[in-house]
Every structure is written in structure tokens, then in C-alpha cells.
Chains A and B, each alone.
Chain A
Amino acid sequence: MLSVVIFLPVVIGIVLATSRRLPAAIIRWVWVGTAGADLLLTLVLTVEPETGRTLRGEQRWEWMPGIGSSYHVGVDGISVPLILLTSIIFLVCALWSVRAIDRPRPQAALFLFLQSTCLGLFAAQDLILFFVFFDLSIVGMYFIIAGWGHGNHRQSALKFFLYTFLGSLALLLGFIGLYLGATPHTFDMVALSQAGAFTGTPLVAGLVLAAIVVGLAIKTPTFPFHSWLPPAHTDAPTIGSVVLASVLLKMGTYGFVRIAIPMLPDAWRSYAWVIVVLGLVSVLYGALVALAQTDVKRMIAFTSINHMGYVILAVGAAGIIGSDTAAAQQLAVTGAVTQMVSHGLITGALFLLAGVFYDRTGSYDLRQYGGLARPAPRFAGFFAVASFASLGLPGFSGFIAEFQIFTGSIGTTWWALFALPGILITAVLLLRAFQRIFTGPTENLSPGFADLRRHETIPLAILMGLSVIVGVFPGPLLALIQPAARIVVESLTP
């Protein structure tokens, strides 16, 4: 079942890639249909009753017995929300592209391929399998940016590939370290997550953790490994940016919760303060640099660094153990996972909205717009809602996530207070951008700006609607995450 969810998109993608004579309309709807069917299958998997085992939909086949690696997939409370998010985001991208005219066949095939790699990554329970999907997602994204981007897109795609590939190699070194550090040698994530699986000395554990953290931090990205992100986002096509921000960035933060913490708990505790500082710097740096941007897409890209910073802060704070901090740690981890989902939904919507600017006028420069609310009221409405959601207003998913992150993090270390100005700066910059673009006299590029069409409203409505649902009724999502978060925190307890 889980394997069907993972591989259905790529199989359809291969069919699309090889059938040359299909008319474009059919291709687009096949894409939408596949993404929709995959989402339905994922939902079935989610509501499937618990079987008592920790992993749902678990499947395991021998693959490389010689080196202790198997095809092992399964999902738990941390991966299910991300798998759902992935399916939703790719469906939204398919819906957004029903009017796309630029090479729809290879585009659909590439996105379906990318969807499979993302789903596979979040379901993988074997480090080699994880790595395979990790690298393939880089390859897929590279071709999306290089093939459908604009501006200086080849350069940006190369930079993206170079950076994240470097990260993936650091990750591979870390994985080999984990493999050699466990007796018997194995790549199985479940086995490696068991207490005491890693038998190396603290020095080795520190080095292995360093390799893994560098690999994941590049992907996330956190300061100072972020410099690939702004150009990649700016030059990527709209739906490419959406997938990059909403799904691919989560691979980094997911790796922290799934691999770094449970497999190297002792080292994680020793170096938790480094992670906290990384998170704090990312939060503040992302917010401040975003404040200085005049390019809408670049601005949103930097707010992503800021939002991912909260996640890093939370996972770092979860590693700081005092007396009686278990509840706070758990809250931080739950908040981190919630933030991944929330950021996926909200930033996805923001990047779609940014894409509208480019589609209509070819310019992302917010100084060239003004009074846009008059010709494009629906656009203005969605932009306002998405901005409020992004700055963490109660009633949206972002509030639930950031509230938990701050309560949990401050509960373990008061250093987390330093991240609070980040929220303030983000609020200022989003509201300022909104004012600049939508209020005042209608001038420059604004006159004649066409409002959102139906194929644009529906995806946006899906994303914002889900953000509101999570914001108002967080119960089911939190109930899903909390048991898994408890296991993560337990693994940290010495």
C-alpha cells in the first residue's frame, strides 16, 4: 500500500514521458488525476486503524543483505503529516498548471517523478533508501529550475545542485559513520534509532553528527549554508518554487527529527546549544535580510529561512535537558513538526501569489506596483490572508506551530527569547509589502493587472483553507504528532 503511494506518480510519469502523441489537455488532467488519487491513497493510509506496531504501512524486503540495507518503508506520526503535505502540494501544483503551455508533457513527468522521490524520502526507514530519494530529489529539482526557470536560471540551478549535492555527500559520510558505529553493522533506521545502537566514542559521535548536521543544514537551509536558496527561488518557475519551499526544505528539518536526534542522542545533547544558536541566527538573519528585499520572491525566500530557523531552534532546544523538562521538550518537537506542515501550506500559497506577479507583468519588484487592490481584489484578499497566516496570527496554522515552539523552547532554555524579535520583524515586512503593493493610487504596472482566474483561486483556496482548519482545529494533527514526538524525546533521555 505505502509502496503504491510512493511509486504511483513515477510510474504514471514514465508513461507520460514516453507517450509522445498525447494531447496536452489529457496530459494535464492525467497529472491532476494522479496527484489526486495519490492524495486519496495517502488519506486511506492515515485513517487506517492502528495495528499496535509503531509504523503504519510497514513493508520490508531484503535488498542488500551483504551490507545490512533493505527496502524498508513505513510511516509514523512524524512522517504522516509530511506525506500528506507532499501529496497536497503536488496536487496544488498540478491544478495550478492546468493552463500551462510550456512543454507540459516533460513538466508533468518531472513533477510526478519528484513527487515519488519526496514521498519515498518521508517513508524511508533505511538510510540508503533515504539517501537515494534525497539525491534523486536534487536531480529532479535541478531539471525543473534549469528547464522551466527564468532569469539567470541555469546559473541558479547549478548553484542549487552544487550546494545540495555537497550536503548530500556530507550526509552520506555521516550515514557511513552511523553504519560502522553500530554492531552489527546496519543501515536500518529503526534498528539505529534504538537506544545504544551507536557504539562509537563521543569524539566519533560528534564528528558523525557534524557531517549529518552540515548535510541537513544545507538542505534546510540554515545560516550560514543558505546562500543557494534565494537565487534558486528567484529563478525557479512558480510551482518549482512551491515544491522547493514546501516540500524539499522539509527534508532537512525532517532529517533532524528522524535521524540526527534518535540515532545520536548523546552527541545531540552535548551539542544542542550549537543547534540552538544556529536556529536563533537563522531566525534573526532571515527576518532582517527579508526586510531589506524589494523583490517579492526573494523576500518570501528569506522568510523561509526565518521560519525554518524556528524549527531548528525547537529541535535544538529539545536536546537541552534540565530537571522536569520532558513536557517542554515534547512541546518543542511537536511544534517543530507542526511548523513544517504549516510553513508548507502558507509559503506554498505565498509563492503561488508571487508567481502571479511574474505571469502578469514579468516583474517581482514590489516598488513597481501600487494600489493593486482596485484592479485585482481577489488577489489582494488572498495575499492579505497568506501574509497574516505567515506572520503567525491566531486562527492560522502558523500560530499553533510557533506558539508550541516558543513555549517548548523557552521551557528548556531562556535563550529562545532572543528569537521573539523575528516574529515582529516578519510582521513588519509582510505588512509593509502588502501596503506598498495593494494600497495607494493605482500606478506603474498595476493598471490593467488581471485578477486571479479560477484555476488560480482553487489551489490557493485549498492551501489557505487547510491552514485555517489546522489553525482552528489543531486537535487531530497534534494527536497524530504527539505520540511520535514523545518517542523522540524519550530517546533523548539519558
Chain B
Amino acid sequence: MDYTALLPEVVLLAAAVITLLAGSYLPRRRQILTRWFTLGALLTSASAALIPLGQPATEIFTRTYAIDTPTTVIRLLVPLSTAVVILIGRSEFSGTPRESETYALLLLATLGTVVVAGTTDLLVLMAGYLLASIPLYALIGLSRTARAAEATLKTYLMGALFGVLLLAGITLLTALGSSSSYPDLTRGLEHAPPAAIAAGFVAVIIGLLFKAGGVPGHFWIPDAAESSSPAIAAFLTTIPKLGALIALARLVPVAPSSIDLPLLIAVLAALSMTVGNLAALAQTNIRRLLGWSTVSQVGYLLMPVAVITTTPTASGALLTYLVLYALTNLTVFGTVACLPRRKNLTDWAGVARSHPWLTGTLIVGSLSLLGTPPTAVFAGKLLVFTATWSGGLAWLVIIAAANTVLSLVYYLRLLISPFQTPATIPDTPAAAQTPKSPSVMPVILGIAVIVAGPIALGIGLL
């Protein structure tokens, strides 16, 4: 057994435990140390992910955990995204009574996401799912408002329901295939009754869609995005999706060809993008709008999953889109987090004059979510559309294109809002003035969004 192969995960786990313990003993004014420690641990974990680079893909621990390109990408992307979240939330977390606990929870959720993405075994998947979900409930509730409590409860109930569904599906599949690891399952399911297999897969997929925040597991996303604190909103609309989508991409090829799983995924993709976009149209709260927009993004992300068995480029397209999506979504949420008091679109009136750089970042971010070239997500969309079409699902590409036009309406409302003339002076001058430093982060991200697309395509689809 090669335990060093799990170094990135071990680093995250150890860091979570140490942060929790250290936080309990450190005096209040020294809590800042845990922040630096967490950031260091996340960077260490990401660097450790580079160790297996260049080696052929393997499956370790009796073939329950894959060390391959998707795992490496996730091991890099997820800790780095969490680090960005911590930087975004720097003024929001530091000095709060629960600072170190927040970091510990973020680390655990990060670990859970990595495990969900890396595993090739249904039972480990369940463990990862719980590990990624339970910290989320606490994180949403951290802001301690009535609405946050409601969002926590909603997420918890949804999570419990979908978790049970996932567990039921896992039980069924394990019983039918007399194994829980994917390679054995592929063989074991060959002669099982198709109806039972289908039921098992549907349950597992829907359970995972709760993590991904796609239809039908999306109900918690807008509430949580609106009522949790801004940096946490950035976290929970970005990071859990990354793991869940890779898990789906690993699961779909396991199904025997008698079950038309790709069709189910395609239909769910179409539903996700349509529902997300239609709901976002009517929103006035900026974070709720962005929450719904992430639901629609899951739809686009599911497109390559639907053709993962037939198109060789689908896996590369999915990974590229995931990276670019994470970057863009963090940018937009990071921008919004800089002006936390401006909750509605109308509150952003006049921001173009007072914060031109933030406005620029918001424009770049929304154009990227929309998929306008040459920003990041355009590159992702191009690859995903191409892969899906050549996988024989041209109808899905057309639905996605129509949905992109639909999404234009609310993304334009978002990016034009800073240019409106404010009806009244929004808040006191002190509140309108934000300290200079937090706005640096989103601006850097915004620039990255512009250059990432061409670069990602340039390096040849990872």
C-alpha cells in the first residue's frame, strides 16, 4: 500500500484537525495564525498533487481511488479555490469569534470534495459525500441571521433527503453487482435486471446532483447563496460542484449499455440550464441571481458528462470548463463580496463612478459567465459544445445555445447595474468607501479570467 499517494488528502485532513485544535487554545487576537496556517496547508496540498504528474494513471487501495488526470486537476483546483475563498473573505472571517472553526470546516469540505472526485468506489463516494456536505450546513449558518438559519435548515433537509437517496442507490447497485468498486461493478452488472440497475443509477445520480447544485437537487443553492456570508457563498456555489461533476463523469461509464444513462444526463442538463436561467431572470437580489446562474452553469457542465462514453474529447472539455468556471465564479462572487451592503441590483447604481476597477471586474466576470469571447468560459463552452455535438447530441447543443441567449438578459442587467444613476445616496459615505485592499483580489482574478481562456485552449486541453 502506497500511503504517500494520498499525501494531498492527508495534508488537508491533518490541517483541519490542527486548525481546530489550535483554534481552541490560541487567544482571540492570535487567531489570525490559523488563517496563515490554513492557506499554507492548502498550498501544500495543491503542490503535493503535482507529485504523480507524468506517471501513468493508476487506481490505488484495491482500486477504490483513481490517481489520474481528473484527480490531479481537482487536487490542484479545489485547494487553490478554497485559498481564494479565504482571501476573498479576509475581512469577513478575521476577528470573528469562529474564525478557526470556519477554516477547519472549509478544509474538511475541501477534503470531502477531493475524495468525491477521486474515488472509484461507491462506499468511499458516500463517505466523501458526507464529508463534503456536513461542513456546508455549519458554514451557511455561520452568519447567524434568521434567513441564514432558514437556508441552513433547507440545505440540511435537502442534504439528508438526497443523501438517503444516494445511499439507497449505492445499496442497490452494490447488491446487484456484488461489489462497490467501479471496475468490478462494470462486470458484475452485466447480467443484472436492467430496471433495478436503472433505479440504482438514477438514485445515485440524483443524490450527486444535490452536491452539484443541478436540477433536481438545486433548491438550496439560491437561498444559501443569498443568506450566507459572501465568501461562503462563493465557496458553496463553486467548490462542491467540482467534485460532484467529476464523480458523475466517473460513474456514467460504469452503467451497462442497456441503460441509456447518457440520455438521462442530457435531459437533466437541459433542465438545469433552463430552470436556472428562467429563475434567474426574475431576481433582483444580486447573490440570488448569481445562485441561479450557477444552477444553469451546472447544466452546461453536465453536457460533456452526457457524452463521456462516446467522445474522447469530453473529459478534457469537462475539466477545462470546470477550471474556467471556478475561476470566473470566484471572480464574480469576490467582486460582490467587496461591497456586501449592496444587496440588490439597484444598490449597485453609481458604483461605476466610485469603484471603476470593481466595475470592470464585474463586467469581465459576467461576460465570462455568459460565454463571450475571449473570456474564460467561452473557451469552456466552445469545447463543451463541440464535444457534445460530435457525441451525437446536437439537440442538446441547440438547447444550450438558446439558453445562452436567455441568460444574456440577466447577465446584462448585472453588468449594467453599476452604470445606473443612483436614485438616492445609497449609504453613508463611510459605508460606500471600502478599504482598498479587498478589491485587489477580484481585480487580479478578473484579469486572470481574460487570459485564462486562450491559455487553457493554448496548452492543448490539459
Contacts and interface: CB of A to CB of B under 8 A. Distances in A.
Most central of A64, A132, A136, A162 by chain B CB within 10 Å: A64
Contacts of B408: 161-162, 165
B36 interface: no
B304 to A, nearest CB: 14
B386 A180 contact: yes
Contacts of B457: 63-64, 66-67, 69
A173 B405 contact: no
Interface string A131-172: 110011001001000110000001000100110011001101
A136 B454 CA distance: 15
Most central of A67, A146, A158, A180 by chain B CB within 10 Å: A67
B405 A65 contact: no
A465 to B, nearest CB: 37
Contact of B385 (A62, A66, A172): A172
Contacts of A147: 419
Interface in A157-199: 158, 161-162, 165-166, 169-170, 172-173, 176-177, 179-180
Interface in B362-393: 367, 372-374, 378, 382-383, 385-386, 389-390
A161 B363 CA distance: 15
Contacts, number: 69
A128 B374 CA distance: 10
Contacts of B386: 67, 176, 179-180
B398 A139 contact: no
Most central of B373, B383, B457 by chain A CB within 10 Å: B373
B412 A176 contact: no
A139 B408 CA distance: 12
B461 interface: yes
Secondary structure call for the B interface: helix
Nearest to A138: B372
Nearest to B398: A173
A154 B458 CA distance: 37
Contacts of A158: 409, 412
Contacts of B409: 158, 162
Contacts of B454: 63-64
A69 B460 CA distance: 11
Contact of A170 (B372, B382, B401): B401
Contact of B405 (A128, A135, A166, A177): A166
Nearest to A147: B419
B389 A176 contact: yes
A162 B405 contact: yes
Contacts of A165: 405, 408
Contact of B373 (A66, A131, A161, A179): A131
A176 B385 contact: yes
A139 B405 contact: no
A98 B461 CA distance: 47
Interface residues of B, number: 27
B373 A136 contact: yes
Contacts of A146: 416, 419
A12 to B, nearest CB: 18
Interface in B411-462: 412, 416, 419, 454, 457-458, 460-461
Contacts of B390: 180
Nearest to A162: B408
Contacts of A172: 382, 385, 401
Contacts of B460: 64-66
B404 interface: yes
B215 interface: no
Given A136-B373, A158-B412, A165-B405, A177 B389 contact: yes
A161 B367 CA distance: 12
A135 B378 CA distance: 11
A307 B386 CA distance: 36
A139 B412 contact: no
Nearest to B401: A169
B458 to A, nearest CB: 6
A162 B383 CA distance: 23
B280 interface: no
Interface string A382-404: 00000000000000000000000
Contacts of A66: 316, 457, 460-461
A232 B378 CA distance: 26
A192 to B, nearest CB: 15
B397 interface: yes
B213 to A, nearest CB: 25
A205 to B, nearest CB: 14
A62 B382 CA distance: 18
Nearest to A136: B373
A139 B367 CA distance: 9
Contacts of A62: 458
Interface in A53-102: 62-67, 69
Nearest to B388: A176
Nearest to A207: B394
A173 B412 contact: no
A173 B401 contact: yes
Contacts of A179: 386
Nearest to A61: B458
A49 B290 CA distance: 54
Given A139-B367, A180-B386, A64 B458 contact: yes
A255 to B, nearest CB: 16
Interface string B399-410: 001001100110
Given A63-B458, A176-B386, 6 more contacts: A62-B458, A69-B457, A136-B372, A162-B405, A172-B382, A173-B385
Interface of B: 316, 367, 372-374, 378, 382-383, 385-386, 389-390, 397-398, 401, 404-405, 408-409, 412, 416, 419, 454, 457-458, 460-461
16 contacts: A63-B457, A63-B458, A66-B460, A66-B461, A67-B383, A67-B386, A67-B461, A147-B419, A165-B408, A169-B404, A169-B405, A172-B385, A172-B401, A173-B398, A173-B401, A176-B397
